[in-house]
A and B are shown apart, each in its own frame.
Chain A
Amino acid sequence: AQTVTQSQPEMSVQEAETVTLSCTYDTSESDYYLFWYKQPPSRQMILVIRQEAYKQQNATENRFSVNFQKAAKSFSLKISDSQLGDAAMYFCAYSLDNTDKLIFGTGTRLQVFP
């Protein structure tokens, strides 16, 4: 079965500091896609970053970057220079190349303190 595990139910960080959210997944496939979504209190699901499994280079989007370790099946999200607006639930998700469904982890609630 394909699963996504986020072992940190809650994390906190000081404003302007860096935080890393962990995610591991389980698959026997070689072609897949990985995503991090942010869900603020407004409930809207917002894509933060995506990574194609065939790319060795880690994806980055401004203050957000990932550490993709394919052999270890690990896909952590690093948020640099944390801002108050980064406070939200963060979901790691995975999708096989030949399907359209996203399989989500259980989420990590991130608090940002001033």
Chain B
Amino acid sequence: DTAVSQTPKYLVTQMGNDKSIKCEQNLGHDTMYWYKQDSKKFLKIMFSYNNKELIINETVPNRFSPKSPDKAHLNLHINSLELGDSAVYFCASSRRSLAEETQYFGPGTRLLVL
């Protein structure tokens, strides 16, 4: 039983296209996140949602728009894709406070923009 799942696992697309990555967690967690891992393996948070409400937005370009239809899902939509968007995108979830436990990560989505 997958705790945090992401689709697709791989995404190859042309510059200028619009694409979405979906994330679902079945852990009953309140908070979900999107992280970006660049080509040098550096991981940085992009967004965090708690109960469908945006909590963290780390100055990500507004071409990136997260959407949370319910607290088990957090999707990432990217408009007008650019070469620099190529990266691995990780979804994660946790209870409200990291004092209780940690974040559980999905398997990642490798995005390649040509």
**A residues engaging B (CB < 8 A)?**
33, 35, 37, 39, 42-47, 50, 52, 89, 91, 95, 97, 99-104, 106-107
What bracket does the count of chain B residues touching chain A fall in? 20 to 34
State the CA gap A107–B44 with chains docked (Å). 12
Contact call B107/A89, Cβ cutoff below 8 A: no
Contact call B105/A44, Cβ cutoff below 8 A: yes
Q: Beyond A35-B102, A100-B94, A101-B33, is A106–B40 a contact (Cβ under 8 Å)?
A: yes
Nearest-CB residue, chain A, relative to B95: A100
Contacts of B42 in A (CB 8 A): 104, 106-107
Contact call B56/A44, Cβ cutoff below 8 A: no
**B residues engaging A (CB < 8 A)?**
31, 33, 35, 40-45, 48, 50, 55-56, 58, 88, 90, 92, 94, 96-99, 102-105, 107-108, 110
State the CA gap A42–B105 with chains docked (Å). 13
The main secondary structure of chain A at its interface with chain B is strand
Q: Other CB < 8 Å A-B pairs besides A47-B104, A89-B41, A97-B97, 18 of them?
A: A33-B98, A33-B99, A39-B41, A45-B105, A45-B108, A50-B102, A91-B43, A95-B98, A97-B98, A99-B56, A100-B31, A100-B33, A100-B50, A100-B103, A101-B58, A104-B44, A106-B41, A107-B43
